Structure 1
Amino acid sequence: MKTLLISCLLLTFLNPVVTLTCESCFGQGKDCRNATTEECDDSRDQSCMSSLGVGKLSLLGSTMVLKSCIDTELCDVGYGSASITSSLYIQSKASCCKTDMCNSGPPEMPESDTREPNGLKCPSCFSIFSDNCEGNKTVSCRNEEDQCFYAGGRMKFGGSSLIGALRGCATASMCDYSQEILMTYLKSLGYEITQLECTDAMDNDANEL
């Protein structure tokens, strides 16, 4: 019994529970400014994530970086993109690693720098006065985008807040794995998502917005 107890104590010391520490930040540009450290949740399988989004989500081009702990199962997202209209879109690249502060370097650029139509289309709209928009026009889906998404929520302009809605194309990775990332990107523009839904994209000849 004494030998067993000693063996258990030795195993405890030899296999301590080590908390994974990651760099954490979110902001405009390619580099983290005012980055902090974040301790991941020991009770879940987590990794350090680094994601870079590039595109046009406003009148000006946008580049956004996001770093944090993330559930390892969400690391499969890889490349993702979403198109609201032909001129409002985002492409993102996420990568993961599992050692302390391994995400402290520059995030990887998205794999695709071109946006080629793939023959699919989705309803497209952008409303700042309603939490729903009909999407009477469509946008051509690009690259791997094969999902139609709807996002409803609130937009902040200065000290005021308005309800709003978005419709457009998205990759399955955006819908299945990285809703949290997409919602964070939109939140940086003052858009707080309260509802996000995805359906299969369609193939038709509707007018493009």
Structure 2
Amino acid sequence: MMKTLLISCLLLTLLNPVASLTCESCWNEGKDCKNATTEECDESSDQSCMSALGVGILSLLGSKMVIKSCINTELCDADYASSSITSSMYIQSKISCCKTDMCNSGPPEMPESETREPNGLKCPSCINILSDECEGLKTVSCRNEEDQCFYVGGRMKFGESSLRGAIRGCGTASLCDYYEGLLETDLESLGVEITQFECTEAMDEDSNEL
């Protein structure tokens, strides 16, 4: 449960909810929005209404997560992202954007189902729910188009308490693009701070490097 919460929170940082365009806003486990609200996008920058659905294995029971909000339009360009965190833990996400009031109020698009085939690359793998750093002493095999090693750590506030966490694994270039864009956005209103971020090229499976 803590691992699912950690990864969900780190994925939540894909949002930039900051006011002219009105969008539906929610963050919910499952594939439907519950208790959705509305938000005004930041009129000082180019923003769109975003609807995202993540599917994958984040626990023994699997997981779906829907997120809707305003987002910087430049982050809409790569609409699909995939990451492998361990051999049994992964997530695929589909993002769709539109630019009229409440245009994201419908059901989010489902990522296309695909066979997750190893591609001969690997990356350091780790999950830490006590710190925003993790070393990645083990590796995970990359799948399909995943050719980047990503490392993201952060702090998330929940009322008076906070949660630190970090994950490493394989990711698509689009995943790295998302986080690169987020480094230039203000996530303070979400109570989120990205403290560590890095993307590097994945290594060959037969490499002895870590």
**Which category describes the TM-score, using the shorter chain as reference length?**
0.7 to 0.9
For 1:54, the equivalent position in structure 2 comes to 55
Deviations 1:94-134 (A, max 9, x none): 01011111111110011243211111110112234554333
Aligned to 2:112: 111
Structure 2 distance, partners of 1:180, 1:35, is 25
Structure 1 gaps of 5+ residues are 1-17, 182-190
CA gap 1:192/1:57 in 2 versus in 1, 3 angstroms: farther
Aligned to 2:200: 199
Residue 161 of structure 1 deviates from its aligned partner by 6.3
Check conservation: 1:137, 1:206, Cα contact below 8 A.
Answer: no
Counterpart of 1:13?
Answer: none
Instruction: Report the Cα offset of residue 61 of structure 1.
Output: 0.9
Distance 1:162 1:24 in 2: 22
TM-score (norm 1): 0.75
Question: Could you state the TM-score of these two structures normalised by the residue count of structure 2?
Answer: 0.75
Q: Shift of the alpha carbon at 1:76?
A: 0.8
Residue 149 (structure 1) aligns with:
150
What is the one-letter code of the residue matched to 1:87? S
1:169 aligns with 170
- Aligned CA-pair RMSD: 2.8
Q: 1:65 to 1:202 in 2, by over 3 A?
A: same
Cα separation, 1, equivalents of 2:161 and 2:70: 32
Residues 122 and 139 in structure 1, CA contact (< 8 A), matched pair in contact too:
yes
Q: Which residue of 1 aligns with 2:14?
A: none
Q: Distance in 2 between matches of 1:118 and 1:204?
A: 9
Q: Is the 8 A contact 1:30 1:64 kept in 2?
A: yes
In 1, Cα distance between the equivalents of 2:181 and 2:64? 17
- The answer to whether the aligner puts 1:121 opposite 2:93 as a matched pair is no
Deviation at 1:163, TM superposition (A): 4.8
1:87 corresponding residue in structure 2: 88
Deviations 1:41-79 (A, max 9, x none): 222111111000011223331100011111111111211
Q: Which amino acid aligns with 1:147?
A: Q
Does the Cα contact within 8 Å between 1:24 and 1:38 map onto a contact in 2? Answer: yes
Separation of aligned partners in 2, 1:155 and 1:72:
24
Separation in structure 2 between the aligned mates of residue 206 and residue 137 of structure 1, nearest angstrom: 13
For residues 62-81 of structure 1, what are the structure 2 equivalents within 5 Å? 62-81=63-82
Q: Equivalent residue for 2:43?
A: 42
Shift of 1:154: 5.2
**Deviations 1:140-184, CA, capped at 9 Å, x for gaps:** 11111111011234589xx98675432110111111125688xxx
Which of structures 1 and 2 has the bigger CA Rg? Answer: 1
Structure 2 vs 1, CA of residues 142 and 42 (structure 1 numbering), >3 Å: closer, same or farther?
Answer: same
Judge conservation of contact 2:75–2:181 (CA < 8 Å) in 1.
no
Deviations 1:14-48 (A, max 9, x none): xxxx9321111111011100011111122211111
CA–CA distance in 2 between the matches of 1:21 and 1:202? 43
How much has 1:135 moved relative to structure 2? 2.2
